[in-house]
Amino acid sequence: MGAKTGLLVYADADGDVPGLLRRVKAADVDQTATMMRRLYPGAEIEECEGSNLYDGVYPPKGTVYAASWPGVDVIGDQRVMIDAPSQLPEHLVAASAGRRLVLHAMHSVVDWLAFAVWEDRRLVRALSLSPDGGIVENIGEPLHFELPYWAGDRSADIIPWPGEEEEPYALPFHPLELGEDALRALCGFIQEGYPEPGDVDADNIRLHGFHVRDSRRPNPEEQEAELHRAVETVDPPRFYTLGPDGSLIERDGL
């Protein structure tokens, strides 16, 4: 599996994210930019090339792919990939007043999954786990799509490398398999696996792109210039060798 996600979705009404996403059309860029300024207060936000819902759930660092429609908002941002989803910044949770908020984050390299659901700012479910870290967070009752995993019906099927002995997987199920089921149940689409007839057509839902930078931090060009200035202030390296009596003797060059 090679799926990676860092996704937030806000939904009005009954919180039916898949149903809302099936009906969306082109997202208004001004409406989306207004949402971005609300969710990233004090940040410098600059429009850039966008993506689609399938590819945009894991943008490059410093980039956010987002769209705002009547009733539903989508944000793809690596910064929401936090170990404990219940610790999502308060202002992002506060924006879910009267709405459902879904966080979905996973990283295939370390088999890590985290997801959470808030209803009107109240956390109702949060789960974060990986084979190396174990269960980091497990808050609230499991949601319906989780039940087969906790019941032991979806045990991890790990194939060892040739010549290696098979060791039991560190968790009772594979986080990425649960992650795909969570993504489909909560958002209506998947990253890997076989699509189903009712899945949201994530390839054809366009997201606007934004570079987002904390105004208190230097941009990459300023960071590089600062590094060069620091290097210039460092004295040239000095090289030493051991003398016959064990003392250090400075020498020229390598």
pLDDT band at 238 (very low <50, low <70, confident <90, very high): low
List, for residues 68-103, the tens digit of each pLDDT value. Answer: 999 999 999 999 999 999 999 999 999 999 999 999
Q: What does the alpha-carbon distance between residue 151 and residue 190 come to, in Å, rounded to a whole number?
A: 23
Q: How far apart are CA 202 and CA 200, in angstroms?
A: 6
Backbone angles phi, psi at 242, to 5 degrees: -85, 130
- Please tell me the distance from the alpha carbon of residue 52 to that of residue 35, in angstroms, as a whole number: 18
Q: Is residue 236, in this structure, part of any structural domain at all? A: no
Whether residue 242 is contained in a domain is answered as: no
Given a cut of 60, is residue 187 above it in pLDDT? Answer: yes
Q: Which residues contact 213 (CB under 8 A, 6 or more apart)?
A: 43, 44, 62, 219
Tell me if 233 is assigned to some domain.
Answer: no
| Interatomic CA distance for residues 31 and 103, integer angstroms | 21
Label residue 67 by pLDDT band (50, 70, 90). Answer: very high
Q: How many independent structural domains does the chain possess?
A: 1
Rounded to an integer, the average pLDDT of 184-190 is 97
- Examine residue 237 and state whether it is found in any structural domain, yes or no: no
- Whole-number average pLDDT of the chain: 89
Contact indicator for 214, 42 with CB cutoff of 8 Å: yes
Mean pLDDT, residues 185-198 taken together: 94
Supply the pLDDT for residue 167: 72
3-state class (DSSP) for residue 33:
helix
Q: For residue 33, is pLDDT > 80? A: yes
Q: Evaluate whether residue 245 is within a structural domain.
A: no
Q: What is the pLDDT of residues 116-170, one digit of tens each?
A: 999 999 999 999 999 999 999 999 999 999 999 999 998 876 554 455 556 778 8
- Percentage of residues of the chain with pLDDT beyond 90: 74
Residue percentage of the chain with pLDDT more than 70? 81
Helix and strand tally (H, E) in the chain? 6, 11
- CA–CA distance, 206 with 4 (Å, rounded to integer): 18
Supply the range of the domain harboring residue 157: 4-228
For β-strands 100-107 and 112-119, DSSP reports them as antiparallel
Lowest mean pLDDT among 48-62, 145-159, 218-232: 218-232
Looking at the domain assignment, is residue 108 inside a domain?
yes
In a domain, 13, yes or no: yes
Position 1 scores a pLDDT of 47
Higher pLDDT, 179 or 223: 179
pLDDT of residue 249: 67
Cβ-contact 104, 115 below 8 angstroms: yes
Residue 186 domain flag: yes
**What single-letter amino acid sits at 150?**
W
